[in-house]
Amino acid sequence: MQHGKTKAYKEQSFDHLRGLDGISDDQIAEHLKLYGGYIKQVNTLNAELAELMGKGKASGKDPEFAELTRRLGFEYNGMILHEYYFSNLRRAGEAKPPTGSGLGHALVDAFGSVDTWKADFQAMGDMRGIGWVILFQDPCTDRLTNHWITLHQDGVPAGFKPLLVMDVWEHAFMRDYKATEKAKYVEAFFRNIDWQIVERRLQEHAAVRPAAAA
Ligand SMILES: [Fe+2]
pLDDT score of 114 more than 60: yes
Q: How far is the CA of 131 from the centre of ligand 1 (A)?
A: 9
Q: For residue 99, how far is its CA from the centre of ligand 1 (angstroms)?
A: 30
pLDDT digits (tens, 9 = 90+) for 79-97: 999 999 999 999 989 989 9
Each residue's pLDDT tens digit, 23-75? 999 999 999 999 999 999 999 999 999 999 999 999 999 999 999 999 999 99
Query: Ligand 1 centre from 164 Cα, in Å?
Result: 14
Kindly give the distance from the C-alpha atom of residue 116 to the centroid of ligand 1, in angstroms, as a whole number.
26
Q: Residue 107 has what pLDDT?
A: 97
d(CA 59, CA 26): 44
In the 8-state DSSP scheme, what is residue 9?
E
**Ligand 1 centroid vs 110 CA: distance in angstroms?**
28
Q: How far does the centroid of ligand 1 lie from the alpha carbon of residue 2, in Å?
A: 31
pTM of the predicted protein model: 0.94
Between the CA of 33 and the centroid of ligand 1 the distance, in Å, is 10
What pLDDT, on the 0 to 100 scale, is given for residue 1?
Answer: 41
CA angle 83, 75, 143 (to 5 degrees): 55
Q: What is the 3-state secondary structure (H, E, C) of 43-110?
A: HHHHHHHHHHHHCCCCCCCCHHHHHHHHHHHHHHHHHHHHHHHHHCECCCCCCCCCCCCHHHHHHHHH
DSSP 119: H
Closest CA to 119 of 96, 94, 100, 99: 96
Please tell me the distance between residue 137's alpha carbon and the centre of ligand 1 in angstroms: 22
Distance set, CA 116 to CA 111, 113, 121, 196 (Å): 6, 5, 9, 20
Cα of 163 vs centre of ligand 1, distance in Å, is 17
Measured distance between the N- and C-terminal CA atoms of the chain, rounded to whole angstroms: 13
| Residues in the 5 Å CB sphere of ion ligand 1 | 167, 169, 172
